Chain A
């Protein structure tokens, strides 16, 4: 399976995503240049973390106008898997691939830490190798990770099982203390209506090595393989 990883100006987790795909999954990965209009036959598109366009104006606000985003939108519309991580989640929201927005963290500081997230829905193409309620450990590193959306949208997301990950403590309790950015309902990741675009603030690609502290992210990537291959 081929993963296309978009490099925007000042993407900086594209390299980590690339190595997670190639070294850990053993699958094919290629970088997609933001100025191009070509997904190079990618089965899965990853919008990686970083500071596309310096996060100037607003995180993800300029990247959504990159030429490659037209192809990414078309790919998503056709049901192709798109994984937006951190800045990629912000871009996906700005581009309208996902509802809601990511605002400045409630404590107004950048936060870099290992967090725990609870799997809320294990029946998606990104989470089918997890168990519902399972607690995962992954790093976060962001200044604008506070997920917000109108109440109606939040209700819809909840009703349709589209809240995929929530910040939780080790016991699985959803609490303000476990929430690194003040996001609504401790939301860490959501999925699109079609179930093929996942956005999350934590970094699964940084949680693929026991040496570095966690392998919990690897199964997210492996889930895609299982589902798309099937």
Chain B
């Protein structure tokens, strides 16, 4: 160990300064205990970043450990930059989802853009070529002018970044609900394709190997971004605008090409994005994974402004930078590859045998931590968990006690209201701003149940989708967690894909509040149940806590990013009705559960009742039947029945493709004695609307599985949707 002295001019460490760095008194004592002395200002900065919620997962780690993470085809589970699964033919898919909520709440354009940039880098540092972007967005009501500013800024930020880098944005979801008024959620997912032999991990190895900073130069932007992401939003958040990074997609595209070339070249042993907490976390994490020591000299870091202190260089979150461990003697070759792409590479440190994490400024040691304890010794908490009695009371309320509005005598009125609710209505305004066809793999783009991308050189395709219904999770986090996974699985299955694995982005409030931590624990438990039943392990993800503003926490929103595999291109199935005169079937029950429905929220302005039940075994059976039917060629279209229930699902099957609008005649008279609104707008789970040229064959597939419905009278027809057999003969059209 070396002597570490405070730098001249550094602030004195006071309790106030410690608090400003987001460390509790106990955490500071833990740090002092680890060092055996008081930390320097630089060391305090390093620890404040690494022990922030965003980097350390200190409140979530024990709970996350309960999730299933393995399957025969999982090549890389949680703990790396991205998860990786094998899809056969020597190919693999790398994918990951991440949040950029707090930056987007303050500066929507850059916040969203850099969210896209960060997740792209997480995928290409695995050696994968990004092939698709997805997103999952939550905003308050569009009636609010600030919400419209946030929404349009986020959409433009996502589009401008992804479009320039040339990665198609193919799917996503956008939900509007007052619960997200001052704290929007902006989650971005990236999917990449790689040859299995190109898989590389961010693990520093080889004593004497040089550590190199490549890509953009380091500036003062984004300092403390990770800590900013780990606290509640407040009136003062606007003042933290300088903590938000600024993205440059042009540099990202060059960095993408250069990085993939570097990985192929064999000149490097590890590569990691300098993302949250920048140089600090990338170097500390690579050292910890490789179980080696590192030393870094900040004066050798290429900077874009002069006079930057070690503290600033270590904590900058300037974008489009990578940390690379090169093979000793190959530094020149690395520089040549970067120079080809007009980027710089500089040796800033090396891998050492001494088990320390050391930072120097020239010859002076400005920070030093023993071994990998900087990462491994971070605190871990198991906060109290207790359900909010308010929410339990909301769940206990009976939706059928809500009186119908007079207009509801005409179900067509209700259906129109639901179809024009922003959460259900077409999202073309947003996705027309995203290039969805570049790279020429997009078979099904935005607007379907899931996006489908062909895998060039094979007869396969992958299906991808993000999904979550935060309202369900709010009313019952266990059930809501199950549904998030089950619905994402159903979505990819509707395209003909076998659900393979998930990544997740867990957006919750302040975990130190027992009612929030209860939601977190329960939702993760529900997700785990569904993942185990459906055989879709978790390969990684991101936790975003402290999504609170003075008006309260957001709905607990565990967004699921699902990847599925289609074995044969001929199995690709679309959501909209495809062939005239086909029969229409509902696979699954009528159910009629209205709790937590879009109907209650939109028509009655209320969020009450128990969310629909979710039997994960039954979900599995449904997916098996659906896939078998698709593979047998009996299915012409398949669409998940979700927000807005059966009526909305049927309407979407008719109109979602404006080029080929169709109609349908549905006769429900012999099937149910439920109320009209329960049949039409109930959101019972485990249901898929299919059109079929051979309905008898579908019904034969699995006699044990109850297909409760509903051969149509006239099948797919023109232009109008007729639903018959309702009480009082309602005829929406």
Binding site for B on A (CB under 8 A): 9-10, 12-13, 15-16, 19-20, 49-51, 53-56, 109-113, 139, 141, 143, 203, 205-206, 208-209, 211-212
Distance of A10 Cα from B258 Cα, bound (Å)? 12
CB-based nearest A residue for B159: A110
The answer to whether residues A111 and B250 also contact, given A9-B342, A54-B164 and a CB cut-off of 8 A, is: no
The answer to whether residues A16 and B253 also contact, given A111-B433, A211-B454 and a CB cut-off of 8 A, is: no
Mark each residue of chain B from 33 to 58: 1 if its CB lies under 8 Å from any CB of chain A, else 0: 00000000000000000000000000
Q: Is B330 an interface residue (CB 8 A)?
A: no
* A contact residues around B432 at 8 Å (CB): 109-113
CB-based nearest B residue for A16: B440
A9 and B249 form a contact (CB under 8 A)? no
B437 and A51 form a contact (CB under 8 A)? no
Q: Which 6 residue pairs are nearest across A and B when measured between Cβ atoms?
A: A12-B166, A54-B250, A141-B435, A51-B164, A10-B253, A139-B437
B253 and A112 form a contact (CB under 8 A)? no
* A contact residues around B248 at 8 Å (CB): 54
Q: Is B707 an interface residue (CB 8 A)?
A: no
* A contact residues around B655 at 8 Å (CB): none
Distance of A53 Cα from B442 Cα, bound (Å)? 26
Q: List 28 A-B contacts (CB under 8 A).
A: A9-B253, A12-B166, A12-B253, A15-B439, A16-B439, A20-B440, A49-B438, A50-B166, A51-B163, A53-B250, A54-B250, A55-B164, A56-B250, A109-B156, A110-B156, A110-B163, A110-B434, A111-B432, A112-B163, A112-B434, A141-B163, A141-B436, A141-B438, A143-B163, A211-B443, A211-B454, A212-B437, A212-B454
B456 and A9 form a contact (CB under 8 A)? no
Nearest-CB distance from B456 to chain A (Å)?
7
A-B CB pair tally, cutoff 8 Å = 88
A112 and B569 form a contact (CB under 8 A)? no
The answer to whether residues A10 and B438 also contact, given A109-B433, A211-B569 and a CB cut-off of 8 A, is: no
Contact-residue bracket for chain B:
20 to 34
Mark each residue of chain B from 451 to 468: 1 if its CB lies under 8 Å from any CB of chain A, else 0: 000101000000000000
* B contact residues around A211 at 8 Å (CB): 443, 454, 569
CB-based nearest B residue for A33: B340
Mark each residue of chain B from 414 to 432: 1 if its CB lies under 8 Å from any CB of chain A, else 0: 0000000000000000011
A203 and B437 form a contact (CB under 8 A)? yes
Counting chain B CB atoms within 10 Å of each CB, the highest count among A15, A51, A112 belongs to A112
Distance of A60 Cα from B590 Cα, bound (Å)? 57
Which residues of B240-297 are within 8 A (CB) of A?
248-251, 253-254
Distance of A54 Cα from B433 Cα, bound (Å)? 17
Nearest-CB distance from A33 to chain B (Å)?
9
A212 and B250 form a contact (CB under 8 A)? no
Mark each residue of chain B from 154 to 171: 1 if its CB lies under 8 Å from any CB of chain A, else 0: 001001100111100000
Nearest-CB distance from A114 to chain B (Å)?
8
B438 and A16 form a contact (CB under 8 A)? yes
B341 and A9 form a contact (CB under 8 A)? yes
Distance of A53 Cα from B248 Cα, bound (Å)? 11
Give the contacting residue for A205; candidates B341, B431, B440; CB below 8 A.
B440
* Other contacts beyond A54-B248, A54-B250, A143-B163: 20, CB < 8 A: A10-B165, A10-B166, A12-B164, A12-B165, A12-B438, A12-B439, A19-B440, A49-B438, A50-B166, A51-B250, A54-B164, A109-B156, A109-B432, A110-B432, A110-B435, A112-B433, A112-B434, A112-B435, A206-B437, A206-B440
Give the contacting residue for A51; candidates B156, B249, B442; CB below 8 A.
B249
Distance of A184 Cα from B164 Cα, bound (Å)? 25
Nearest-CB distance from B439 to chain A (Å)?
6
CB-based nearest B residue for A53: B250
Nearest-CB distance from A172 to chain B (Å)?
16
Distance of A212 Cα from B165 Cα, bound (Å)? 21
* A contact residues around B435 at 8 Å (CB): 110, 112, 141
* A contact residues around B436 at 8 Å (CB): 112, 141
CB-based nearest A residue for B429: A109
Nearest-CB distance from A162 to chain B (Å)?
28
The answer to whether residues A10 and B437 also contact, given A51-B164, A141-B163 and a CB cut-off of 8 A, is: no
Give the contacting residue for A110; candidates B249, B253, B433; CB below 8 A.
B433
Distance of A141 Cα from B156 Cα, bound (Å)? 14
Distance of A116 Cα from B249 Cα, bound (Å)? 30
Mark each residue of chain B from 85 to 106: 1 if its CB lies under 8 Å from any CB of chain A, else 0: 0000000000000000000000
Distance of A20 Cα from B159 Cα, bound (Å)? 25
Distance of A115 Cα from B294 Cα, bound (Å)? 55
CB-based nearest A residue for B456: A19
* B contact residues around A205 at 8 Å (CB): 440
Distance of A4 Cα from B164 Cα, bound (Å)? 22
* B contact residues around A56 at 8 Å (CB): 250
Which residues of B549-591 are within 8 A (CB) of A?
569
The answer to whether residues A13 and B249 also contact, given A55-B164, A111-B433, A112-B433 and a CB cut-off of 8 A, is: no
Distance of A139 Cα from B435 Cα, bound (Å)? 9
Distance of A20 Cα from B251 Cα, bound (Å)? 27
CB-based nearest A residue for B167: A12
The answer to whether residues A212 and B442 also contact, given A109-B433, A110-B435, A111-B432 and a CB cut-off of 8 A, is: yes
CB-based nearest B residue for A17: B440
Nearest-CB distance from A116 to chain B (Å)?
10
Counting chain A CB atoms within 10 Å of each CB, the highest count among B431, B435, B439, B454 belongs to B435
* A contact residues around B439 at 8 Å (CB): 12, 15-16
A13 and B163 form a contact (CB under 8 A)? no
* A contact residues around B433 at 8 Å (CB): 109-112
Counting chain A CB atoms within 10 Å of each CB, the highest count among B248, B432, B434 belongs to B432
CB-based nearest A residue for B166: A12
* B contact residues around A51 at 8 Å (CB): 163-164, 166, 249-250, 253
